[in-house]
Amino acid sequence: MQTNNSSHSFVISNNPQEELYRVLSALSTVFNTATAPHRPDAGDTTDLSNRDDADRYLTQFQRSSVAWIVANRLLSMSNDPQVQFFAAQTLHTKCRADILQLESQQQMNSLRDSLMDYLVKCISHGGSGNKAIVTRLAMTICCLALQMKWESIMDDLLMTLQQQSQQQQQQQIMVELVLVIAKILPEEVHSERVLLPNEQQRLLFIDKLVHSVENMLQFLFFCASNAGGDDVLGRVKIQEQVLRCLHSWVRYVNIPPSLLQTTQLLDFTFAILQANDYNAYGGDLFELSVDVVIEILRCYPSDNPANMGLVQKLIPLIMDLGGESHSPFQKALRLEDEDSLRDYCRIFTEMGESYMSLIVHHEDLNQVKLVNLVLACSAIPDNDIATITLHFWYRFVSCLEDTEPYEYRQLQIDNYTPQIIKLVSTCISLLRYPSDIDELSGDRIDDIDRNRFYVNDTLEDCCRLLGGDMVLRTIGELLQKEVERLSSLGEEGLKQWHTIEACVKALISTSRYIPHDESAVLPFVMNLVPNLPTSVRFLRKTANLMVGAFAEWLNRHYNQLQPILPFLSQGLSDTASASSAAVAIKQLCENSNSHVALGDSVLHLYDGIVAAQLQQQQHSSTSVPVAPILDIRDELEVLEGACKAVSRQLQENLVQDPTSSSSLDYINRIVEPIGARLVQYSSSTKTGPKQVIAELERLTVVIRHLNIPNRREEFLIDLMTQCWPYLEMISTSFTDFQMAEKVCRLHKHCLRNCGVSTYQPLFEKLCIHLVNNFTHSRQSPYLYAASIVITEFGKNADTHCQKQLYAMLEEMGKVSFQLLHSTDQFKNHPDVVEELFFLASRMIQYCPEIFVSSHMFHPFVQCATVGMTQHHKDANRGSMTFLDHAFSFALTIQSCSTAGCDIGGSILDCKQSIEALLSKEGQAIVTNLILSLIGDLPCYRISSNNGSVAGVLYKIYQLCPALVMEWISVPLNRVSKTEQTLLMSAFQSNVSKDELFSVCERFVEVCSRSQRMGSAF
């Protein structure tokens, strides 16, 4: 055997004995065994003493055909559990994917018989160390049964068991063998990792399993009732296997519900759940019983009439677990047995979801009892258990909302109103932070907040059913009682803030459902906010969010708002509550009106924030970085709010006084400080990129959200004109990706807010600016910005505008081609590849003639031919999208020619350009497309209307069908005749686009299976 040191690959021989010793040598290295086996071949110089080399060898060995024989021998000759497990794993892997390496049915039969012998041997020896080997051997046998179409496996095993009924020891071993195979067989049959020549084979096997169900259920009940004798542990072990097996068959085999209804296994399972006796049954047995019941509920819902007999059998059995005071669920509540409570909660919740059609049924079936049971689960003190029920309440509300007619729907809602009101109170309990919240880790707090998010969703569901008023009153009553209770405690009450915070959090869910004139609860709440303790960060943060949620109500009740503004302003200085305070301020500004003019006050607040930050920077040591007073994201929220409030205020001022010049004052207050800092930073060598980026972010917010009435476009153009020289200097000084992204984002928003006609004076300057900056920095955001320019100016562009856009594309293309001069450069700059071809796609969409007829079109297509081979999703998508648009335009030209339309000179040039392109690059493109479908090249989108492999292939075929048939024949030689015929016949039949998409998807599926199996069918 030779070793290729450069690629670390090994040549696997066809000599089983030779490979057997190499495998043992590699395993001794991997498992760090003290002694390695003797090498029979003195001429073999392969060194497997290195762990990495041994791993690589074993992986490569498992793919070889000789591995069948070697693994089989390892099972028979070795007593080492690690070696035996490796052998079993190897055979399992090969049964899944390499079955075609076995050339005859006789070989499969021989392998099956030897595997059964090994499995019997392992089971008879017993011991915990054999468990993994037993499981892996059983998985191998089940996988082999599917591959060799041994559809009668279960009936055959049960028959063999029956024949050994007189031999107790052998029968016991056979019982365990049948149980382990019966548990694994349905799972393995459904596994997508088992590769079959035809999926119909899997369906037929599953159908045969259904025919074995009745015998299987009888066998399982026999085992549960009689196995183990006086050996308690042995009996429990067998019963656990029975339940695992039953769970697997319920989940994967379509057991007729009538058989489940009549099997005594249900009574056996529920007896375990009723007893909940660890000493009698063991903890695993109880858990397994829970899993079985839940799986039955999931697989047999009440909305299927065929399941009603089983449903009627299950309802009293399940309700007996929790309905009465002496029930096991109520007992677990009294004992605070969290494990049992979790399991019963899972059962009741699953029952509620599965039997939802009965809960909303028009007949009185005592459904309220089940809803009350789920409600009791929601009230379990352990939040992790209680939140299991939340999805039930979502389904419950959704089903009630969908109930028709409206009169009956309202009748049902009225019927369940007491439960929903209780649910609101329960949700507040679930929203409570634990008392030790300040001591918990960040990850744990994130988990708690995630649960609180879902609880808030449940409260919103309640609002949809009952209306916001009723839910708000319920929350308000609880909040007032808690405030009164804590007020009586004095200073001690500050430590018990958790319920108040939960109530405030709950109020947020009602904000969308409360009328603007609400006066019973919200005034009390808003009066409470300024008096809340500022030292409790969680409470303060939630209060801020609540204020933002009710911003519209507050702006209609200005007397309530005034005391809250200082509370929010102070919150900006607290790191924990700054973000929520900033968002609340922005939301208040967004909802400001003529009665509430927040522009001046918020702008004054923002000026103070910026001044404080600048002052801190000036007085800080230059060698020690200083954290800003307010994070830039929070500052921008406040600035956005200020801009929106000022815009609203200017609009109101204009209505009252059309001659008002107040807009100039506001512009100066907002823009001049930003402009002054930009001037300073653009010329300073000591300025860091973070400072510049912050100013660009501020300027972008102003451009997006400051709306000067009647002269917004003029204001934006003047602003950009004044800033332009400094933006040029900044772009030259800082060439990193982040700076490029912020500069381009600024230009994008300015262009879109101005509109094409207003921005026209800066159009040519912008094109030059983007080209120069891309040439200097090679950063992809400039390509993205250029595509935005083409999108905006390309619509109905005149000749001069098209030439300017093409000149920009041409220069950027030349720079990109210089950058992407090798395949490695494509890999190193996927973002440039992506944005370059999206830029070219936009040009074809809006200005196709000037581009397609130019000398740059062919280089772009040549570059895209390389781009479509890249293993980078976005780069590949950009390349494919460009080719798709290019050939779509070619089809448009072809249609015009076929229809006899009058083709002008430029269209004729395009037609000739495309024909020359297809002659030169068509075969390479088509070859890449076929290789993508085969799996040799990346295929991120098989079929879609934009940029898919099948879509591009279809369009090229429409352009030149004869050439495509010739071109695809070469790459299709890589696959079998069956696969070739599948694709070739679709083209020969001239199928539609949708039909070709389906054929390509099927072709990819078949090729993928062939590659994974290592052989063509």
Report pLDDT digits (tens) over 774-806: 999 999 999 999 999 999 999 888 999 999 999
Q: What is the bridge-based pairing of β-strands 9-10 and 3-4? A: antiparallel
pLDDT of residue 1014: 58
Residues in the chain: 1017
Give the percent of the chain with pLDDT over 70.
Answer: 93
Per-residue pLDDT band at 655 (split at 50, 70, 90): confident
pLDDT of residue 872: 94
pLDDT of residue 903: 60
Closest CA to 589 of 574, 573, 603: 603
Closest CA to 214 of 250, 169, 263: 263
DSSP string, 452-464: HHHHHHHHHHHHH
Sign of CA dihedral 1012, 1013, 1014, 1015: negative
Averaged pLDDT score across all residues of the chain: 89
Strand segments, DSSP code E, in 192-255 are none
Per-residue pLDDT band at 547 (split at 50, 70, 90): very high
Of the two residues 900 and 955, the one the predictor is more confident about is 955
pLDDT of residue 661: 65
Per-residue pLDDT band at 1 (split at 50, 70, 90): very low
User: Which token pair is 934?
Assistant: 């085969």
The average pLDDT across 189-213 equals: 91
The average pLDDT across 115-122 equals: 92
DSSP three-state, residue 3 = strand
pLDDT of residue 4: 42
The average pLDDT across 186-191 equals: 95
Amino acid (1-letter code) at residue 616: Q
Q: Do 704 and 746 form a contact (C-beta atoms < 8 A)?
A: no
The average pLDDT across 308-314 equals: 96
pLDDT of residue 166: 59
User: Which token pair is 198?
Assistant: 């035809």
- Asked whether the predicted pLDDT for residue 951 surpasses 60, the reply is yes
Per-residue pLDDT band at 710 (split at 50, 70, 90): confident
- Asked whether the predicted pLDDT for residue 536 surpasses 80, the reply is yes
The mean-pLDDT minimum among 613-627, 740-754, 838-852 falls in 613-627
Per-residue pLDDT band at 199 (split at 50, 70, 90): confident
pLDDT of residue 47: 74
Instruction: Give the torsion through C-alpha atoms of 396, 401, 403, 405, to 10 deg.
Output: 160
- Asked whether the predicted pLDDT for residue 142 surpasses 90, the reply is yes
Per-residue pLDDT band at 659 (split at 50, 70, 90): low
For the entire predicted model, the pTM comes to 0.84
pLDDT of residue 290: 96
pLDDT of residue 1017: 34
pLDDT of residue 621: 45
- Asked whether the predicted pLDDT for residue 608 surpasses 90, the reply is no
Give the percent of the chain with pLDDT over 90.
Answer: 68
pLDDT of residue 40: 55
DSSP string, 560-625: HHTTHHHHHHHHTTSHHHHHHHHHHHHHHHHT-BTTB--HHHHHHHHHHHHHHHHHHHHHS-TTS-
Per-residue pLDDT band at 6 (split at 50, 70, 90): very low
